[in-house]
Amino acid sequence: MNSRLGLLLVICAPSGTGKSTLTARLRAEFPRLGYSVSCTTRAPRPGETDGRDYHFLDHAEFQRRREAGFFAEWAEVHGNRYGTPRQALADMLAAGRDVLFDIDVQGAAQLRASMGGCHVFLMPPSLEALRARLLGRASDDEAVIRKRLDNAPGELACAPDFDYWIVNDDLDAAYDRLRAVYLAESLRPALNPGLLEAVLNGPRS
C-alpha cells in the first residue's frame, strides 16, 4: 500500500494581512491538514485558549526548552518569542499528515533550510491598507500597531524567498488561490514515493 508523506505548508504574512482567517478556512475545509501549535511568550488575546491557539509560556520556560533542543524553529517577533515543538511535528509527518505552519519569516527561513516544504507569502494590497486593517482590528494598543507597521517592510522584503505570493485584496479570491496551492503541492511525487510502484505492481484484470 502506498504510504503518503506529510506536506509542510508554511504561510507567512505581515500582521493584519488576514493570515489567521485564511488558514482557519483552509483547515475547516481540509480536516487532514494538521496545525502546528506554536509556543509563545506573548500574553493570550481575548478568546485564545492555551494548547489550542498557542502553548503560552513564560520567558524562563521558553529559554529552558530552547536550550534543550525542544524547538524545530524559533524566533523573536515584536518583542515576544515563538517556537515550533520538534517532536509534535515529527509525529504528524510520520503519520502522513500534512502540517500547516503559521509563522514569521525568521521561523520560515529555518524550516526552509532544514526541512524544505511549500512556502506561501500573503501580502496586503498596500501598506496603507495594512495600516487601516490593524487600526480597525482594535485588539492591540497604539504602540503594538506602530511596531507591526514598522516591521512590515522588512517582512515584505523576504517575499522573494517564498514559492508563492498571494495578495489578499479580496478574501474569497485569496482563499481560492491558497486552496489551489495546497491541492497542487499535495500531488507532488516526492510526497507519494510508493504510488508509482503500487500502480505498476497492482492487480491486473
Q: Is residue 104 part of a domain?
A: yes
Number of domains in the chain: 1
For residue 164 the three cell numbers come to: 508563492
User: Residue by residue, what is the 3-state secondary structure of 18-35?
Assistant: CHHHHHHHHHHHCCCCEE
Enter the pTM of the model: 0.80
Q: Is residue 201 part of a domain?
A: no
Q: Containing domain of residue 40, as a range? A: 8-187
pLDDT number for residue 111 = 87
CATH number reported for the structural domain that contains residue 177 in this entry = 3.40.50.300
Q: Is residue 31 part of a domain?
A: yes
Q: Is residue 1 part of a domain?
A: no
Per the CB < 8 A criterion, the answer to whether 122 and 168 are in contact is: yes
152-196 confidence digits (pLDDT tens): 999 999 999 999 999 999 999 999 999 999 999 999 998 988 899
Q: How far is Cα 191 from Cα 186, in angstroms, rounded to an integer?
A: 7
> Strand 99-102 to strand 8-12: parallel, antiparallel, or no bridges (unpaired)?
parallel
Q: Is residue 202 part of a domain?
A: no
Say which residue, 41 or 103, is predicted with more confidence.
Answer: 41
pLDDT number for residue 95 = 83
| Alpha-carbon separation of residue 124 from 19, 134, 151 (angstroms) | 10, 11, 14
Q: How far is Cα 112 from Cα 189, in angstroms, rounded to an integer?
A: 19
116-133 confidence digits (pLDDT tens): 899 999 999 999 998 888
Question: How does residue 134 score in pLDDT terms, banded at 50, 70 and 90?
Answer: confident
Q: Is residue 196 part of a domain?
A: no
Average pLDDT, the chain: 90
Q: Is residue 154 part of a domain?
A: yes
Q: Is residue 16 part of a domain?
A: yes
